[in-house]
Amino acid sequence: MAYEKKHAEHAPAGHSGHNEEHFREKHLMLDPLPRGQMNEMVMDSMHTTSWKFWVVFGVLSAIVVYGLFYSWGVMIAEGLGVAGVNRPSYWGIFLVNTVFWIGISHAGTFISAILRVFKAEFRRPFTRAAELMTTFGLVQAGFSIFMHMGRVWLSYWLFPYANQRMLWPNLHSPLSWDLLAITTYLLSSTMYLFLPLIPDLAMARDRSNGWRKTFYKVLALGFRGTEGEWTHLRNAMNIFAFAIIPVMFSVHTIVSWDFAAATRPGWNSTIFGPYFVVGALHSGMGAVVMVLAVVRGTMKNMKYFIRPEHFEAIGKLMLIISMAWAYFFFNDYMVQWYGGDKWTKQLLHFHEAGPMGWMWFAMLIFNIAIPWAVLWNARWRSTPWIVFTVGLLINVGMWFERYIIIPISLSINRMPFTWRLYQPGIEIPLGIGTLAFFILLYMAASRLIPLIPVWEVQEGQMAHELKKFGRETVVTVSELE
């Protein structure tokens, strides 16, 4: 027995010959707890709030009030002159942040919808954490794009609304497509977040009192868990999971068209669509893993739900996406370089050897070299803080990538007389404000809604079973749906 246990610890994952205890320890799906206890654990994690939480909450609120609302107010009152955007970099960090936050929001739906469609079992405990990221990320993207506008108080002109003068938005403009795509994505991803939440809200409703009871009662829409309700819920979730995947691909492709459809050297690239989708997944997966590491490290009872196996599985995905990103990056670079256009060549040289060349190299190191060097190792990618660091660096690298595409590529154009480097101004507090607001929304949500989809975990645990065939312990999964 002692030998077996020792042996099992050293055996790589998937190797036969583990004993049952080892399986239980490793896999959440094979380690069932009584349903009542598990529900209590999730409720408990929502209700246990230490003073540290409130300190962080207070600091972030102050940052949001100053960075987001005050600074934006100043900018609206004074004009965009307080920002660093200037000819020729008419688009700066605002647009970088918009693309960045839309990218972050991608992985939520990716993990949730694609893994649900493919029935990947490891997704079960963290689909909600990922979906929340989608919704909250899109909120920040919305903030960033509206900040960017010169006359934000007239932003409703971008929407097709009936008016006396019969003036409609210009559907030739990629920005109009962008607005439609982002709105569609926000609506559908919010609904997709809400559907699997209903049974958990009902669970929370039955286990709380006071204002929380009313809150959950309203949100749970009277869900009682009858067979008919479950059938409807499953059908709706299935439809949404399939429907949201093309929406997700379209959104970031359309975001890339803001650049690809323009006449600028360095932007006018036909591969930008898939390149941006993969880039979004790259930063999004990094963000999911960071959220999971923080949730596991700071919230009560989360070590049971989020285990090294989940970091290991996401780590693999991160590695694959990093490789895909490297491929698209190389393809984009290669074709532009080979094209030999005078201005494009100059721009590529400016990227690498210009005053911001360090950013170009940092991007490659953070997005390719570090993930490849770290994530190949199963033990490293099962360690939360290591994957957290890699995820953080990937996000920094992907932010750099957008920064290189937008303000750095804009500083050089076909009119050398206007060349000028971009220096951010009030964009910095505003950008930090969106980041703080994202974390703040997430923290508030972690107190209000169950971060773990309990019913999904329980469903998975019911489907999984350990069986013994002779001396071999085998995991079996039955089809429940």
Partner 1 sequence: MMATLADLKISEVKLSEEQGGKWGMVIDQDICTGCQACVAACAMENNLTFVGEEDAAYGRTMHWIRIERFWEGEYPEVKMTPNQPMLCQQCGHAPCEPVCPVFATVHSQAEQLNLQVYNRCVGTRYCANNCPYQVRSFNWRDYERPEPLPNQFNPDVTVRRRGVMEKCTFCIQRIHKAQDKAKSEGREVVDGEFTTACAQACPANAITFGRMDDHESLVSQLAKQAHGVKHLEELGTLPSVTYFKGG
Q: φ, ψ for residue 305 (rounded to 5)? A: -80, -40
Bridge partner list, 466: 475
Residue number, 178 or 456, with CB nearest to partner 1: 178
Residue number, 114 or 149, with CB nearest to partner 1: 149
Measure the CA–CA gap between 119 and 256, rounded to whole angstroms: 30
CB of 349 to partner 1, least distance (A): 19
Measure the CA–CA gap between 315 and 377, rounded to whole angstroms: 9
Measure the CA–CA gap between 129 and 196, rounded to whole angstroms: 12
Tokens of 242: 């399939």
Measured CA to CA in angstroms, residue 20 lies from 117, 125, 138 at distances of 29, 21, 43
Residue number, 177 or 438, with CB nearest to partner 1: 177
CB of 398 to partner 1, least distance (A): 22
CB of 252 to partner 1, least distance (A): 18
CB of 460 to partner 1, least distance (A): 45
Q: φ, ψ for residue 356 (rounded to 5)? A: -105, 25
CB of 81 to partner 1, least distance (A): 4
Q: Is the peptide bond before 424 cis (omega within 30 degrees of 0)?
A: no
**Amino acid of residue 38:** M
CB of 463 to partner 1, least distance (A): 49
Cβ(399)–Cβ(96) below 8 Å: yes
344-355: burial string, b at 16+ Cβ within 10 Å, e else:
bebbbebbeebe
CB of 413 to partner 1, least distance (A): 6
Measure the CA–CA gap between 316 and 28, rounded to whole angstroms: 18
Exposure of 121 in the CB half-sphere (CA atoms within 13 A): 19
List residues near partner 1 by CB under 8 A: 78-81, 85-88, 90-91, 148-152, 154-155, 157-158, 167, 169-170, 172-176, 179, 258, 261-264, 410, 413-418, 420
Residue number, 72 or 91, with CB nearest to partner 1: 91
Query: C-alpha 384: how far from its chain's center?
Result: 17
Measure the CA–CA gap between 391 and 438, rounded to whole angstroms: 17
Closest by Cα among 175, 148, 173, 138 to 92: 148
Residue number, 318 or 410, with CB nearest to partner 1: 410
Residue number, 264 or 381, with CB nearest to partner 1: 264
CB of 168 to partner 1, least distance (A): 8
Tokens of 265: 């050297």
CB of 72 to partner 1, least distance (A): 14
3-state secondary structure of 119: coil
Kindly state the DSSP code that residue 88 receives in the 8-state scheme.
S
Tokens of 198: 């209903």
Number of residues written out for the chain: 481
**Which residue, chain included where needed, has tokens 């399939």?**
242
Who contacts 69 (Cβ-Cβ below 8 Å, separation ≥6)? 433
Residue number, 151 or 379, with CB nearest to partner 1: 151
Tokens of 36: 């009542």
Q: φ, ψ for residue 409 (rounded to 5)? A: -70, -25
CB of 277 to partner 1, least distance (A): 22
Query: C-alpha 182: how far from its chain's center?
Result: 15
CB of 167 to partner 1, least distance (A): 7
CB of 411 to partner 1, least distance (A): 11
